[in-house]
Amino acid sequence: MSAPALYLEKVERRYDQAGAPLDILRGADFGLWAGQSAALIAPSGAGKSTLLHIAGLLERPDAGEVYISGVPTVAMADESRTALRRSEIGFVYQFHHLLPEFSALENIMLPQMIAGHSRKEARERATQLLDYLGLSARADHRPAELSGGEQQRVAIARAVANGPGLLLADEPTGNLDPKTAHHVFEALDAIVRATGLATLIATHNMELADRMDRRITLRDGLLVELP
């Protein structure tokens, strides 16, 4: 079997809170393979965002190892971690973080051009993704001219534009009404199934969680599979 897209090995993370250590992760182990989707379900404050930041190479653990497609990353230089993150990991947040001065199409083109793709290649890929997500007619609209659901679908397209192996999402529908959230679920699910991404989504939304292949939670600093 090929290496998992994401593998956490005995990961520990603690913070200093009023002079006392606060343990968030206490030797967490977790593997996620290409084509698998997992929902991370846990109460606020349990450490979901910390876990995603560590998995996404935005934060280093205090102990343990984080493997991305079999590559150990904890001891990597910052520049190497950034390069790996840009090529192998896509992020979707609760807030879309689109650049307001650029169109939907341009927002999806930019990360590709930063990664070294030509403007022509980036435009073709962005156009395909917008078409796939039913947003072709909105390609030239800036974020302020898009609905919340449309903005989040553009954010999903941007996250997968460089063909990453791993997609991480932190409450991607947390700011949306139920009907709009449903449309975003559909878009996220469709693009995950079509691309074979490994996907880890932190969510409170059980409709979205029920669509995932696996459901996990944080319990006493460990990752535990749910039935």
Distance in angstroms (rounded) separating the CA atoms of residues 50 and 164: 21
Q: How much is the pLDDT for 146?
A: 93
**Is 227 a domain residue?**
no
Mean pLDDT of the chain: 88
Give 7-25 pLDDT, tens digit per residue.
999 999 988 877 778 888 9
20 phi, psi to nearest 5 deg:
-120, 140
Instruction: Please report which confidence band the pLDDT of residue 133 belongs to, taking 50, 70 and 90 as the band edges.
Output: confident
Pair 188, 172: CB distance under 8 Å: yes
pLDDT at 1: 62
pLDDT score recorded for residue 224: 92
Q: Output the six-digit token pair for 146.
A: 């898009």
Answer whether 73's CB lies under 8 Å from 6's CB: no
The confidence score (pLDDT) of residue 152 equals 86
226 domain-assigned:
no
Tally of domains in the chain: 1
CA dist 147 → 176, 180, 181 (Å) = 10, 9, 12
Q: Which of 28, 66, 31, 25 is nearest to 47 (CA)?
A: 25
Higher per-residue pLDDT: 68 or 177:
68
191 within domain boundaries: yes
Predicted local confidence at residue 3, as pLDDT: 86
Radius of gyration of the chain (CA): 17
CB atoms within 10 A of CB 114: 11
What CATH number does residue 13 fall under? Answer: 3.40.50.300
- Tens of pLDDT, residues 113-123: 988 889 999 99
Highest mean pLDDT among 108-117, 137-146, 208-217: 137-146
What pLDDT, on a 0 to 100 scale, did the predictor assign at position 41? Answer: 92
5 DSSP 8-state letter:
S
* Residue 155 identity (one-letter amino acid): A
Query: Residue range 49-77: average pLDDT?
Result: 94
pLDDT at residue 5 is higher than 90 = yes
Side-by-side strand order, sheet with 63-68: 20-32, 6-17, 63-68, 71-72
Residue 91 has pLDDT above 70, yes or no: yes
Distance CA 5, CA 200 (A): 11
Per the domain annotation, does 48 fall within a domain? yes
Parallel, antiparallel or unpaired: strands 20-32 and 6-17: antiparallel
pLDDT recorded at residue 80 = 94
- In this structure, what DSSP letter does residue 70 have? T
Classify residue 223: in a domain, yes or no.
no
Tell whether 225 is covered by a domain: no
67 falls within a domain: yes
93-109: per-residue pLDDT in tens? 877 789 999 999 999 99
Write the CB contacts of 111 (distance below 8 Å, at least 6 apart in sequence). 86, 158, 161, 162
- Residue 224 within any structural domain of the chain: no
In degrees rounded to 5, what are phi and psi of residue 64?
95, -175
For the segment 144-194, what is each residue's pLDDT rounded down to a tens digit?
A: 999 888 898 899 899 989 889 999 998 887 777 777 788 777 877 888 778
DSSP 76: S
Smallest CA-to-CA distance from 167 within 27, 37, 28, 24 is with 37
Residue-number span of the structural domain to which 63 is assigned? 6-216
